[in-house]
Structure 1
Amino acid sequence: MRIGIAVPQYGSFATPEAIVEVARAAEGLGFDSLWAADRILTPHEPSDPYPGGDGTMPEEYRTFLDPLTVLTLAAGVTGRLRLGTSTLTALWHAPVLLARTLTTLDVLSHGRLDVGIGLGWLRDEYRAVDVPWENRGARLEEWLDVAEAVWADDTVRHDGARWTVPASHIGPKPAQRPRPPLLLGGLSTAGLERIGRRADGWLAVGMPVPCLTAMWNTVRLAAEAAGRDASALRMVLRVNPTVTADEAPPEQVPNRGRVAQITDYLLGTAEAGAGEVLIDLQQTTTTTAELLDLAEAMIKRLRP
């Protein structure tokens, strides 16, 4: 199992010093990857409840650095770690522009980028960037068509319902060919089937293992129906735990619990298909020293 950690990005960790310190330390501790998330605002009166806990968005999200800028800084101070987005809300950006930015990061990091894309859950953010909330799935399908052309084709051409690209040369191309690994988030049947049809893997979230297994089967069946090799797909599982000193009730794991409870859960997800886990410790710590102590404790249990 590969083990990733969220790069410092929000709340008290939104500083260049924290990014550099944690990125370097994570590489030294033996982590495999660094991941950044995407958030542009915290509404005073949210249009939608936060999909976790009691539905209240974490206070730490009031300060949130841009994910690709954060990963670019982390790339400059590491040499081995993979760099991923979990998740990047691609529809907030024109596909040609974001595909170019992602290409740039892949080139500057010498081919270490994993492109993780999701649709988001907060209508307020879509309104803020003047992008329709409706028909997000169809919009993402076309967004992927354009981005994949930018990454892979010598001549890029697209004439679609939402974007038009005249026959053009767009370079450079990514260091990874034909494109960086593409991971998609999603929990709905349509989203899971899209992963099977179009992506290299699924950005999953912590949930009971039987639920993970059922959803992963939906992804694999969709891949097989599309004539793809389902065994080649990846599952990257994200958890944002509150680490406690006392034992938490089993039903609260992995959202809450002792280090041993959370790591045992993560190890158990391998039977559901998880090949990589991603741990975000920014909501349960306030200093880099505390974060790195927890990170070390977790990786020692996950990889003795």
Structure 2
Amino acid sequence: VPPNKKRTALREYLEAMQALWTQEEASYEGTFVEFGASWAWPKPVQQPRPPVLLGAGATDRNFAWIVRSADGWITTPTERDIVDHVQRLHKAWADAGRTGTPEVLALAGPPKRDRLAQWRDAGVTEVLFGLPDAPEAEVLTYLDRLADTLADLP
């Protein structure tokens, strides 16, 4: 996909999936996605569709796209100022007349209790932690430490 057409391609993929999720017999015709009469079962329980989260940098353009076409945002690993970004996304969401709040999934580095509490208070709905590429015993030790860190987080 040409770099200047990535959003168009993603929009088409989402529209095609929406058709498969909601129509008994779906078809779609776009520049990057095209299929004739097709059937897909089972249909999602969540309606009108499962939540769509977009992983992207915290730019105004990306937030506008999320507000228009998705249900939430996945941060990038290099993202800083998550609290400020979530506030900007919430404002864009409200300004566009969307109800509720977007889901925000933050990719976290080392678990820091104060940062996690700030993110929670700002509206981060989920946090993902990476696991060390290490022998099983080291990974299990890491998971135990992570569980201890998160266990009594208010």
Shift of 1:200: 2.1
Q: Which residue of 1 aligns with 2:120?
A: 270
Q: Which residue of 2 aligns with 1:286?
A: 134
Q: Is the 8 A contact 1:150 1:170 kept in 2?
A: yes
Q: Which residue of 2 aligns with 1:154?
A: 24
Matching residue's letter, 1:288: E
Q: What TM-score does the superposition give when structure 1 sets the normalisation length?
A: 0.44
Matching residue's letter, 2:13: W
After TM superposition, the structure 1 = structure 2 runs for residues 166-185 of structure 1, keeping only pairs within 5 Å, are 166-185=36-55
Aligned equivalent of 2:72, options 201, 208, 232: 201
Does residue 87 of structure 2 align to residue 237 of structure 1? Answer: no
Matching residue's letter, 1:152: T
Matching residue's letter, 1:197: R
* Structure 2 spans left out of the alignment, 5+ residues: none
Q: Is the 8 A contact 1:192 1:215 kept in 2?
A: no
Q: Is the 8 A contact 1:205 1:239 kept in 2?
A: no
Q: Deviations over 1:100-132 (max 9, x none)?
A: xxxxxxxxxxxxxxxxxxxxxxxxxxxxxxx43
Matching residue's letter, 1:299: A
Shift of 1:225: 4.0
In structure 2, the CA distance between the partners of 1:226 and 1:155, relative to structure 1 (3 Å rule), is: farther
Which protein, 1 or 2, shows the higher relative CO under an 8 Å CA cutoff with sep ≥ 6?
1
Q: Which residue of 2 aligns with 1:100?
A: none
Shift of 1:203: 0.9
1:235 partner SS: strand
After TM superposition, the structure 1 = structure 2 runs for residues 208-227 of structure 1, keeping only pairs within 5 Å, are 208=80, 211-227=81-97
Q: Deviations over 1:61-112 (max 9, x none)?
A: xxxxxxxxxxxxxxxxxxxxxxxxxxxxxxxxxxxxxxxxxxxxxxxxxxxx
Aligned residues: 150
